[in-house]
Amino acid sequence: MAKQAVKFEINLTYRCNHKCDWCNRLVDTLPIPDSDVSLEQLDAFCQRVRKDKIEISRFKVAGGEPLVHPHFLEALGMLSGLYRDGLVQWFWVLTNTMAPTYPTLPPGMSWRRSPPSSKNHDPLLISPKDLGFDAKFGFGERCLIQTLCGCAFEAWGYAPCALAGAYAHLLRINVWSPDPVWAGTRELCEHCIWTLPRAPRFRLWDLGREGSLPFPSGTLKQALADAQRDLVRFPRYQPSSRGMRRKCQEP
């Protein structure tokens, strides 16, 4: 049986140079401090990919806005080695196009530009559980975010998807692991709107934009108020042999 390539997204930082309405990293409502991935953490990530020979079909460098990371070019230089080693097929660097200048990317990488004028973030703070829906995806069968973006890596470790970190800080749930993870937990996913099938998800988004349902929904409204008053500081990922021992379990 052929080895299945996976997808990865790295949230290089949660800092941003813009505040989009309904930001899916909560930059507009819950700035998360100390979110820059260090070069040491990044080196450990690259070592892990090489050691386990993880084949990545698509890799996205995201944020926040990646360009505000203080070591942006050094980080890209380290990651580009994975492309040269044949471990990454497609390499995208996401940007909101608000930076004054744009450097030339290393070979194999390309910009994916999404200016604020063209973005249409969907309301994130609508909890299916609050509205009587059962979570269908995310902790068993993959949700759409997990399918499109795969596993995430950020300052606190590996997370089951690119949005998990924002929800984790909001709900005070430590979702990070020293090893790649490919499924979320019910505790987190039941409050994520992406766990719903397409039709009810789009309907709730429309109602949220119209103001026809409470927004944020009850649990997330209280969680946001609590987090804005006293944000939990989760331990940052510590590169060590522990995170290198276990072979990556592919989905």
Mean pLDDT of the chain: 90
The structure's pTM equals: 0.91
* Domain extents in the chain: 6-120+142-190+233-245
What are 163-197's pLDDT values in tens digits?
Answer: 999 999 999 999 999 999 989 999 999 999 999 99
Query: How much is the pLDDT for 226?
Result: 96
Asked if the model's pLDDT at residue 246 lies above 70, the reply is: no
Asked if the model's pLDDT at residue 103 lies above 60, the reply is: yes
Asked if the model's pLDDT at residue 249 lies above 60, the reply is: no
CB 213 within 8 A of CB 126: yes
Residues 6+ apart with CB under 8 A from 211: none
- Cα radius of gyration (the chain): 18
- Beta-sheet strand order (sheet of 157-159): 109-113, 88-95, 56-62, 6-11, 151-154, 157-159
What are 151-163's pLDDT values in tens digits?
Answer: 999 999 999 999 9
CB 72 within 8 A of CB 80: no
Confidence of residue 240 (pLDDT cuts 50, 70, 90): confident
Name the one residue in this structure whose structure tokens are 């930076």. 99
